[in-house]
Each structure stands twice: as C-alpha cells, then as structure tokens.
C-alpha cells in the first residue's frame, strides 16, 4: 500500500517505518496519524515482521511536534476529541501493539513527537537528539499521553520541570533519566537499532507479545499486573513456541520459532 506521509521498508523480519515530512520536520498532522495507525496495524498482522523501528526522515527531527495549524482554532469539545482520537488511533495503539516497537529518535522529538517516542516500547537516541514537551508555551498541555508517560519514565519531578519550563533536554540527560536506553551517533542510530531488533527476532514473538501485555497491565489503574502476568505465563504453556523453545533447550540446540 502506498502512503503519502510515511515510508516502510522490511528486511530480515524487521520493518522500518519512516515518517516522511522533512519540510515540516515530520510534524504529526491528522493524515499522518491515520497513516501510522494503518501501517502499524498492517505490520502487526504480518507474520514475517517481528520488530518495528520507527524514525523520522532527514537529520533534523524524529517528529518536531503536532501540526499546530490544524487545531489553533478548535473549541473545547474539538480539543478533547482531538486528544481522545489521537490517543486511541496511535499512541495507545502503539503502546499495546503485540509487535515490539523501537523508536530511533534522530534530532528533535518535541510535543507529539516525544509522546510518540514514549508510546514505543523503548527508545534509542542519536547524540544530537533534543526532547521536550513545550505545549504550555502555546497555552495548552500535552494531549497524547505525555502527562502520564513522561512521569512513568523519568519520575514526577523531572517530568513536571520539563512540562512547566517547556524546555528541551539533550540526549545525555535523556539517557541519565531513563527516557532513552542508549545514545549513539546519528550514523550509527539505525544500524544500532537493527542490531537490537535482530536479537529480538531470535525469540518467541508470541511470548514477547504476552510480555508486553503483562508489563503494560502494571501501569493501568484497577488492573492487577501480577495476575495479568500469571495469566500470560500460563497462556504461553499452550503455544507451539513454548514446545519448540523448551524442546530446543533440552536438546541443546537453537530454537526455531515461526512467525507471529
């Protein structure tokens, strides 16, 4: 399928999804969010795709934010709908995707861009990356999950400071605060992410999807994460991947897991 705002390439069970609006610093407009929803859904259903890497085109930005021109004149109700629809269509959708998603953060990840990176399962940044939630400088707050995910990742104090000052942090600060897992040069960013993704592809996609589900359960109100883990653990015992993994271990050979 052809997309207007994104590019997809696939190799060795790894799909790379590139937001391709470099003249707009890859800003998220409604069309791009809709395309990303469709692309993530398509890749998640593809049995050959075991990991998804998302990045931005060009060297300046992962995603520099939302497209402000689209909502500058919205009413209260329109603003609420914008946030609700965006969260459902993309940000919560990515967080709960059964296929692991790695954010390769090149350059600016601001506002909706940082929110997209935070909805991914983990993040790797280039050394020129700058991250922030500057929404209060526009008289609004993060609306795509930023007020919830940033404190989970970096702690309440730093999250409050970042949101209140509307300032950016550099890659080193992001690494030290737990916002990203690694910092590498811009040239190394995609190869490094592909190397990690390659390690992931060796393992059971079924078990990984259940691990994502169980981890996410622990961050949801009213959900017992430990109980979710017990159920997911038990589920794995009924899968072909479990039979293959345990048999391979006992036979002292490398497991050959099928697709999803």
**pLDDT of 215 higher than 80:** yes
- Using one digit for the tens of pLDDT, what is the confidence trace for 94-112? 999 999 999 999 999 999 9
Please give the structure tokens belonging to residue 257. Answer: 């897991």
In a domain? residue 197: yes
Give the pLDDT of residue 97.
Answer: 98
Concatenated DSSP letters for 181-198?
SEEE-TTTHHHHHHHHHH
pTM (2 d.p.): 0.96
115 assigned to active site: yes
Q: Taking residues 116-130, report their average pLDDT.
A: 98
Please give the structure tokens belonging to residue 147. Answer: 């007020």
Kindly indicate the confidence band of residue 260, based on its pLDDT and cuts at 50, 70 and 90: confident
- Using one digit for the tens of pLDDT, what is the confidence trace for 233-244? 999 999 999 999
Kindly indicate the confidence band of residue 12, based on its pLDDT and cuts at 50, 70 and 90: very high
Domain co-membership, 131 together with 240 = no
CB neighbours of 185 closer than 8 A, spacing ≥ 6?
A: 126, 127
Give the pLDDT of residue 150.
Answer: 98
- Using one digit for the tens of pLDDT, what is the confidence trace for 144-199? 999 999 999 999 999 999 999 999 999 999 999 999 999 999 999 999 999 999 99
Domain co-membership, 138 together with 230 = no
Residue-number span of the structural domain to which 230 is assigned: 205-250
Q: Taking residues 8-27, report their average pLDDT.
A: 96
- Using one digit for the tens of pLDDT, what is the confidence trace for 40-62? 999 999 999 999 999 999 989 99
What SS3 state is found at 110? strand
88 assigned to active site: no
Kindly indicate the confidence band of residue 1, based on its pLDDT and cuts at 50, 70 and 90: confident
Domain co-membership, 20 together with 85 = yes
Give the pLDDT of residue 2.
Answer: 83
How would you list the strands of the sheet with 61-63, edge to edge?
Answer: 61-63, 108-110, 130-132, 168-170
In a domain? residue 26: yes
In a domain? residue 223: yes
Domain co-membership, 12 together with 55 = yes
Tell how strand 130-132 and strand 61-63 pair up: unpaired
Which of these is catalytic: 48, 59, 78, 135? 135
Which of these is catalytic: 70, 95, 115, 256? 115
Q: CB–CB of 53/198 below 8 Å?
A: no
pLDDT > 90: what percent of the chain? 96
Rounded CA-CA distance 218/252 in Å is 34
Domain co-membership, 222 together with 196 = no
Show which of 201, 222, 241 is a domain's final residue: 201
How would you list the strands of the sheet with 6-11, edge to edge?
Answer: 6-11, 14-19, 51-56, 101-105, 122-126, 182-184
**pLDDT of 126 higher than 80:** yes
In a domain? residue 1: no
**pLDDT of 259 higher than 80:** no
């Amino acid at each position: 399928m052809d997309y207007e705002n994104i590019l997809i390439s696939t190799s060795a069970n790894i799909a790379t999804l590139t937001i391709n609006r470099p003249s707009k610093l890859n800003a998220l407009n409604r069309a791009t969010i809709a395309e990303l929803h469709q692309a993530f859904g398509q890749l998640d259903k593809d049995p050959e795709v075991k990991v998804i890497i998302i990045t931005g085109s060009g060297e300046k930005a992962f995603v520099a934010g939302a497209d402000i021109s689209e909502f500058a004149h919205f009413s209260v109700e329109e603003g609420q709908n914008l946030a609700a629809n965006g969260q459902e269509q993309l940000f919560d959708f990515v967080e709960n995707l059964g296929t692991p998603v790695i954010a390769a953060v090149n350059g600016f990840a601001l506002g909706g861009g940082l929110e997209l990176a935070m909805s991914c399962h983990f993040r790797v940044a280039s050394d020129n990356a700058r991250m922030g939630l500057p929404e209060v400088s526009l008289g609004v707050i993060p609306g795509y999950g930023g007020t919830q995910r940033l404190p989970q990742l970096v702690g309440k104090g730093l999250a409050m400071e970042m949101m209140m000052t509307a300032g950016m942090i550099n890659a080193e600060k992001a690494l030290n605060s737990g916002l990203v897992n690694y910092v590498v040069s811009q040239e190394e960013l995609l190869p490094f992410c592909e190397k990690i993704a390659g390690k992931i592809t060796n393992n059971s996609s079924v078990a990984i999807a259940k691990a994502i589900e169980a981890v996410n359960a622990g961050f949801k109100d009213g959900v017992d994460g430990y109980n979710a883990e017990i159920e997911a653990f038990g589920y794995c015992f009924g899968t072909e991947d479990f039979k293959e993994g345990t048999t391979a271990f006992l036979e002292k050979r490398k497991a050959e897991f099928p697709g999803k």
